[in-house]
């Protein structure tokens, strides 16, 4: 008899979201746990314990498998490799799929990059449902991406294809957790927006609601922009320009129907989208000028990655 349920897990820098999913894409049970443990074994123990608790109503034996979306994770090997944004993942190779499987009595576990999982969810349930070619860009603590060509997710020869967040946006720019300089992630992630805020405030004497704060977050910048703060608006304008210039580089490689933005920072799209589109269309090859849409994900942030990850387990 075919098993009726799967588990989807979305692992982020701050927390992991877990859901029990049926064949129709309904999330029946869900939970959120911290990912701030210093030891990955403690995280795995908490994760597997939580999955078992969530599975009580449907029965673990009725679970077909577990799909996991996690930073810097390899679909082919099941390993997490140097996940710089996760405390217990930086500088390490962790056999995450097999470790989770051990804690779940041998249940099959399939893992992929967290942004790839979001792209799978977008393709199956979101604005990219009718598209065969698109790029999903996740704007969170970092910048991730999932690339779909001819309806299939691109993994490349080694399982790591699609790390667009670690392409160079500004030569010899900001240091990135990956070890490179000037990565897109250092400018267009939530932490990148905060770094831009500190830089702009240090170079300007303009009045701003952000000035004097001990620690600035991307939400602080958004809240200030909502109140018309000129520095905050300039921060988002700059963020949009950097994104747009890089998107112009991405487009010729695959001629996507659209680029879909997903994640917390996408909520600020009204402030960065005009400069993004302007920069993208000014810098793209004429063949694609004004032809590629930039869309905002239609999926709930808490659902998309869970659903995408769960699709790996069928």
Domain count of the fold of the chain: 2
Asked if residue 292 and residue 150 are part of one domain, the reply reads yes
| pLDDT of the chain, 314 residues: tens digit per residue | 568 999 999 998 889 999 999 988 899 999 999 999 999 999 999 999 999 999 999 998 999 999 999 988 999 999 999 998 899 999 999 999 999 999 999 999 999 988 898 898 899 888 999 999 999 999 988 999 999 999 999 999 999 999 999 999 999 999 998 899 999 999 999 999 999 999 999 999 999 999 989 899 999 999 999 999 999 999 999 999 999 999 999 999 999 999 999 999 999 999 999 999 999 999 999 999 999 999 999 888 768 779 989 989 98
Bridge-based pairing of strands 143-149 and 93-94 is: unpaired
Asked if residue 184 and residue 43 are part of one domain, the reply reads no
In a domain, 98, yes or no: yes
The full DSSP string for the chain is: ----EEEEEEE-SSEEEEEEEETTS-EEEEEEEE---SSHHHHHHHHHHHHHHHGGGT-GGGEEEEEEEETTB-TTT--EE--TTSTTTTT-EE-HHHHHHHHTTT--EEEEEHHHHHHHHHHHHSTTTT-SSEEEEEESSSEEEEEEETTEE--TTTS-TT-GGGSBSSTT-SB-TTS-BSBTHHHHSHHHHHHHHHHHHHH-----TTTT-SS--HHHHHHHHHTT-HHHHHHHHHHHHHHHHHHHHHHHHH--SEEEEESGGGGGHHHHHHHHHHHHHHHS-GGGTTTSEEEE--S-HHHHHHHHHHHTT-
Please give the torsion angle defined by the CA atoms of residues 161, 166, 169 and 171, in that order, rounded to the nearest 10 degrees: -120
In a domain, 88, yes or no: yes
Q: Is the Cβ–Cβ distance between 243 and 269 less than 8 Å?
A: no
Asked if residue 198 and residue 181 are part of one domain, the reply reads yes
C-alpha–C-alpha distance, residues 210 and 14, integer Å: 24
**Host domain of residue 176:** 129-297
Asked if residue 286 and residue 151 are part of one domain, the reply reads yes
The residues near 219 (Cβ < 8 Å, ≥ 6 apart) are none
In a domain, 14, yes or no: yes
In a domain, 96, yes or no: yes
Tokens linked to 37: 């443990």
Domain at 177, CATH number? 3.30.420.40
- pLDDT, residue 58, reads 92
In a domain, 32, yes or no: yes
- pLDDT, residue 209, reads 97
Asked if residue 135 and residue 109 are part of one domain, the reply reads no
Asked if residue 243 and residue 133 are part of one domain, the reply reads yes
pTM of the model: 0.86
Asked if residue 142 and residue 46 are part of one domain, the reply reads no
Asked if residue 259 and residue 152 are part of one domain, the reply reads yes
Q: Is the Cβ–Cβ distance between 11 and 71 less than 8 Å?
A: yes
Q: What are phi and psi of 68, to 5 degrees?
A: -125, 130
In a domain, 30, yes or no: yes
Asked if residue 248 and residue 217 are part of one domain, the reply reads yes
Asked if residue 261 and residue 143 are part of one domain, the reply reads yes
CA distances from 94 to 42, 71, 77, 105, 190 (A): 13, 12, 10, 19, 26
Asked if residue 281 and residue 162 are part of one domain, the reply reads yes
C-alpha–C-alpha distance, residues 229 and 209, integer Å: 7
- pLDDT, residue 46, reads 98
Q: Is the Cβ–Cβ distance between 78 and 95 less than 8 Å?
A: yes
In a domain, 124, yes or no: no
Asked if residue 306 and residue 280 are part of one domain, the reply reads no
């Amino acid at each position: 008899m075919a098993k009726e349920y799967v588990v989807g897990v979305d692992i982020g820098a701050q927390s992991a979201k877990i859901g029990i999913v049926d064949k129709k894409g309904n999330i029946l049970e869900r939970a959120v746990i911290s990912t701030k443990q210093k030891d990955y074994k403690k995280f795995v123990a908490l994760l597997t314990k939580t999955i078992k608790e969530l599975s009580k109503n449907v029965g673990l034996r009725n679970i077909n498998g577990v799909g996991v979306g996690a930073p810097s994770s390899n679909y082919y090997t099941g390993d997490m490799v140097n996940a710089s944004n996760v405390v217990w993942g930086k500088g390490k190779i962790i056999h995450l799929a097999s470790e989770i499987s051990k804690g779940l009595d041998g249940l099959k576990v399939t893992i992929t990059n967290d942004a790839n999982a979001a792209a799978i969810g977008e393709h199956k349930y979101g604005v990219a449902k009718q598209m065969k070619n698109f790029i999903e860009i996740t704007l969170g603590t970092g910048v991730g991406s999932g690339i779909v060509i001819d309806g299939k997710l691109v993994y490349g020869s080694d399982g790591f294809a699609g790390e667009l967040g670690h392409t160079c946006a500004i030569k010899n720019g900001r240091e990135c957790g990956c070890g490179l300089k000037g990565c897109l992630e250092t400018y267009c992630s939530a932490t990148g927006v905060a770094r831009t805020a500190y830089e702009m405030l240090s170079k300007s004497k303009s009045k701003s609601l952000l000035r004097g704060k001990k620690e600035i977050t991307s939400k602080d910048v958004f809240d200030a922009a909502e109140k018309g703060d000129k520095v905050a608006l300039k921060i988002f304008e700059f963020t949009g320009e950097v994104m747009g210039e890089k998107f112009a580089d991405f487009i010729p490689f695959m001629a996507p129907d659209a680029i879909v933005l997903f994640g917390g920072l996408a909520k600020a799209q009204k402030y960065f989208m005009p400069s993004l589109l302007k920069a993208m269309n000014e810098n793209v090859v004429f063949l694609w000028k004004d032809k590629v849409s930039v869309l905002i994900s239609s999926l709930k942030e808490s659902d998309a990655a869970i659903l995408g990850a769960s699709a790996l387990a069928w």
